[in-house]
Amino acid sequence: MGFNVNSLSDKVLMSNNVGIPCLGFGTYKIDDDQQVYDMVITALEVGYRHIDTAAFYMNEAGVGRAINDFIATTKIAREDIFVTSKVWKTERGYDKTIKAFEKTMDEIGLDYIDLFLVHWPASLTFDDDWKEINRDTWRGMMDIYKSGKAKAIGVSNFLSHHLDTIIDMEIQPMVDQIEISPGFRQQDTVDYCNEHGIIVEAWSPLGRGRSLNHPLILELAEKYKKDSAQIIIRWDLQNGIIPLPKSINKGRVVSNADVFDFEISKEDMTKLNAMERYGDSGHHPDEAW
Ligand SMILES: NC(=O)c1ccc[n+]([C@@H]2O[C@H](COP(=O)([O-])OP(=O)(O)OC[C@H]3O[C@@H](n4cnc5c(N)ncnc54)[C@H](OP(=O)(O)O)[C@@H]3O)[C@@H](O)[C@H]2O)c1
């Protein structure tokens, strides 16, 4: 089911009834402090209300500073901005997860964050006790949620079999952020999330640029008088997925958000949904350490 949304600030509800803005701004690889500050300010000025960072991106401080300054200089309230961070692979397990969250909070300089994610699952390839590690990490996540300092918790790069390791626990993840682009739909995991009321977010929605030149995307861009990135971002929204496009180019930050004035037809959605594998990173959660 697609989202019924009309602007960047429109929210969809997570399973705990907290709203999450339907389109986010990605910040991976924007690791220069001043640049990430400038780009987050730009995104907020354009109207984005959802910023995605992670401890691994080494830019939480700049992201938090931009949010605090934007709030101080506008009438926008903290509650109207949604920020996500993530605990990195090296910090799995209960104690390390709690400590990693405290470090994130020190870096980001906000009273709370809106969403905290487990960045990558422990997987069978690297750890015999991968299931127990995921459960221990998730115990930490549940306590972080109960502290009120993260308004929602979730996972990233968890496929169905990773989700299975924690799905019976007291609190279920509210979000799963996975790689999704038209040539890499990960439909099994999306179906699993839909069945369990878990919101799906798309990382590398543009295939880091690789997806933009696929002939079908180019054809639809021409047909709808939009650019390739807009076709893909709109495709995510119509599939009920939150895309997180990243750009350090102001014109693209603007154009990537200009996706609320057209609709991809059912027939063209079917074509996009049937695209062959194309443009993904190749980072399988059970293979990438
Ligand atoms: N959870 C995870 O494991 C994970 C992994 C990867 C990413 N993420 C998150 O997802 C976000 C997005 O993923 P991503 O940054 O890997 O890739 P992406 O958003 O798919 O693509 C970003 C690339 O596309 C270019 N681009 C952006 N808009 C464009 C446009 N309209 N036309 C042409 N090129 C355009 C950007 O270049 P310019 O910057 O030069 O415009 C950049 O090189 C990340 O920033 C991060 O927040 C999460």
Per-residue pLDDT of 198-235, as tens digits, reads 999 999 999 999 999 999 999 999 999 999 999 999 99
Catalytic positions are 57
Percent of the chain with pLDDT over 90: 96
Nearest residue (CA) to ligand 1, atom 36: 247
**5 part of a folded domain:** no
SS3 content of the chain, % helix, strand, coil (to 5): 45, 15, 45
Which residue range is the domain that position 24 belongs to?
11-210+241-247
Pairing between strand 153-156 and 175-179?
parallel
Distance 158 CA to ligand 1 centre (A): 20
CATH code at position 27: 3.20.20.100
**Distance from Cα 207 to the centre of ligand 1, integer Å:** 7
Asked if residue 255 is part of any domain, the answer here is no
The total of structural domains in the chain comes to 1
Q: Which residues fall within 8 angstroms of residue 51, CB to CB, at 6 or more apart?
A: 24, 25, 27, 40, 43, 44, 63, 67, 81, 82, 83, 84
Q: Is 183 a member of any domain?
A: yes
Structural domain includes residue 184 = yes
Which residues have any ligand 1 atom within 6 Å of their CB?
26-28, 52, 119, 156-157, 177, 203-209, 212, 229, 244-249, 252, 255-256
If you take atom 47 of ligand 1, which residue's CA is the nearest one?
A: 26
What's the CA gap between 118 and 103, in Å, rounded?
15
The answer to whether residue 269 sits within a structural domain is: no
pLDDT digits (tens, 9 = 90+) for 66-107: 999 999 999 899 999 999 999 999 999 999 999 999 999 999
Copy the structure tokens of residue 116: 């905290």
Look at residue 230 and tell me if it is in a domain: no
pTM: 0.98
Evaluate whether residue 62 is within a structural domain.
yes
Residue 1, pLDDT above cutoff 90: no
Residue 46 lies in a domain: yes
For 99-155, the pLDDT digits (tens) are 999 999 999 999 999 999 999 999 988 899 999 999 999 999 999 999 999 999 999
pLDDT higher than 80, residue 289: no
What is the distance in A from the centroid of ligand 1 to the CA of 143?
31
Structure tokens at 251: 């014109």
